[in-house]
Structure 1
Amino acid sequence: MADPGTGGVDLAGVIGGIPSPVGIAAAGVGGRTDVEKAGVVQSGAAWSTIKVPLAVAVARTSPATLESAATAITTSDNAAAEQLWDSLGGGASSAAGIGAVLADGGDSTTQVPTVRIRAEYSIFGQTQWPLVGQARFGSLLPCIGSSSRVLDLMGQVSPDQSWGLGRIPGARFKGGWGPGETGGYLVRQFGIVPAAGGELAVAIAVESASFGEGVDALSGVADALALRLPSIQGGRC
């Protein structure tokens, strides 16, 4: 089996041309090597990226509910995501369901809140999800149970949200964004992209003055990464 590592890719070089504070983490699919990281932004609210493990949790218990709320992934529909959350029982029950999926994906430290922290935003979106944990989860996502339909949906993201990793052909990804408590925006994505001999899981986050600025920054990171992908060793389950 091929070594799924990132082959010593210069992640600092990938983000070097981005003027906004940014961070990146990456690992070959299969989860058999350490996650590599670079940049100053290494954690923050998950926002809508948490909808991926939420959807996997629902796929395990209620596939029909996932199908009826598939737009939670493809268009980041918040009402659809709340439907998924409620189908798991809400509160501690839903948080535990997502936590079990995260643990299966190699992230046993990220804690999903059980109550709403900032009143105007979803409970689950306010999960603090470090990029290293997110990249590790992404590297094992194709390998865990009930993930295949969610991965399919991650490959069908609406064109208006196909910035950043969505600019890379064959990417399966999910974005998330929201305002900081003291101003500005956190814009982030994670996903799985083709690499040499397999696939690479990537998580990126940027702190920016506006959503649009964050989108442009993530697209710049993705474009720089795309140039290096043919020389980065990917992995498989």
Structure 2
Amino acid sequence: MRRPRPMILGAGLLLLAAACSSPATVAPSAAPTSTSTAPAGKDITVSVPGTLAADFDDLLPTLHGRAGLALMPVGGTKMATLGDWTTGAAWSTIKVPLVLAVLRHNGDTTTASMSAAITESDNSAADVLWQSLGTPDAAAAAVQAVLRDGGDSTTSVPATRTRPDYSSFGQATWALRDQLRFTAELPCLDDADTVTSLMAKISGSQQWGLGHLEGSEYKGGWGPDANGKYLVRQLGLVGTETGKLAIVLAAQPDSGSFDDGQAMLTKIAAVVSKHLDELPGGSCAPKR
């Protein structure tokens, strides 16, 4: 029998149930064999054989690269973070708040550029959307305002390009935890239905990772660092028996290959899929 190993969970995977806006329970298999208490907001050490945390711990050494996974119920406050990747360029995942910023700017009118930017990750379409928000400073402020409304109080959206060949907004540094907060709040934001409906129609060539989870709404982003090594990441929403669950993934393969990064996210998503019935979802609080 495999000996349980300790896991360090950011806010505690077992605390996800407390974050639901609707009642939820954690499956019996998720109960830890031992726990150690810690002050609120601190890491909690638990031994969790047979759970998502343990399975991810087993998977990580086989991925041959750095990876991160974070989960939180929609409308919730408690998150779980796993892995050894924590922050990096947003790449095309930033197109989600970009499209929402444009929707707010033009009165929630969907355009072909919005559809192309989300469903096909079309960079030219995203540039059109960015320019429609006004000057670079105005565009950056508009996208950043969406992030703030989504609970991300940290991320800054640059107005000017830091790398000549890539958009300024795609080079925003978006930490895994900040991206998760935004994703968990996304369905609760005004005009969000227009964006999430596009996230459910991602083109076939980009249906890796979260695209393997039935009914998922997601957006991927990818690109090379200064040394040509790819970061591949996704944000998304998936349904559970108790509501929607926000999930964000990131992978930086040792090989630097885009294909290897895709494969890493698909393997992580497969592990998540095995445990979806144990993970609580949530819903948005009623608007007053």
- Alignment TM-score, normalising by the size of structure 2: 0.78
What corresponds to 1:203 in structure 2?
248
Map 1:14-29; keep pairs closer than 5 Å. 14=56, 16-18=58-60, 19=63, 20-29=65-74
Question: Does residue 1:79 correspond to 2:120, yes or no?
Answer: no
- 2:56–2:268 CA contact under 8 A, matched in 1: yes
CA distance in 2, matches of 1:64, 1:196: 30
Identity of aligned residues (%): 43
Map 1:69-108; keep pairs closer than 5 Å. 69=113, 70-108=115-153
Match of 2:187 among 137, 142, 146: 142
User: Aligned letter for 1:165?
Assistant: L
Match of 1:227 among 274, 279, 282: 274
Which structure has the higher relative contact order (CA within 8 Å, separation 6+)? 1
CA distance in 1, matches of 2:196, 2:108: 16
Question: Does residue 1:194 correspond to 2:239, yes or no?
Answer: yes
User: Aligned letter for 1:61?
Assistant: H
CA distance in 2, matches of 1:167, 1:202: 13
SS in 2 for 1:121: coil
User: Aligned letter for 1:233?
Assistant: P
User: Aligned letter for 2:219?
Assistant: K
What corresponds to 1:213 in structure 2?
260
What corresponds to 1:184 in structure 2?
229
CA distance in 1, matches of 2:94, 2:135: 15
With over 3 angstroms needed to count, the CA separation of the structure-2 counterparts of 1:232 and 1:63, relative to structure 1, is: same
Shift of the alpha carbon at 1:92? 1.0
Shift of the alpha carbon at 1:13? 3.0
- 2:119–2:202 CA contact under 8 A, matched in 1: yes
What corresponds to 1:54 in structure 2?
98
SS in 2 for 1:174: strand
Give ranges in structure 1 of 5+ residues lacking alignment.
none
- 1:195–1:234 CA contact under 8 A, matched in 2: yes
SS in 2 for 1:112: coil
Shift of the alpha carbon at 1:38? 1.2
Greater mean alpha carbon deviation, residues 45-54 or residues 14-23: 14-23
With over 3 angstroms needed to count, the CA separation of the structure-2 counterparts of 1:91 and 1:12, relative to structure 1, is: farther
Shift of the alpha carbon at 1:120? 0.4
With over 3 angstroms needed to count, the CA separation of the structure-2 counterparts of 1:66 and 1:28, relative to structure 1, is: same
CA distance in 2, matches of 1:15, 1:189: 20
What corresponds to 1:44 in structure 2?
88
CA distance in 2, matches of 1:166, 1:132: 21
Question: Does residue 1:13 correspond to 2:63, yes or no?
Answer: no
Larger radius of gyration: 2
Match of 1:2 among 14, 22, 28: 22
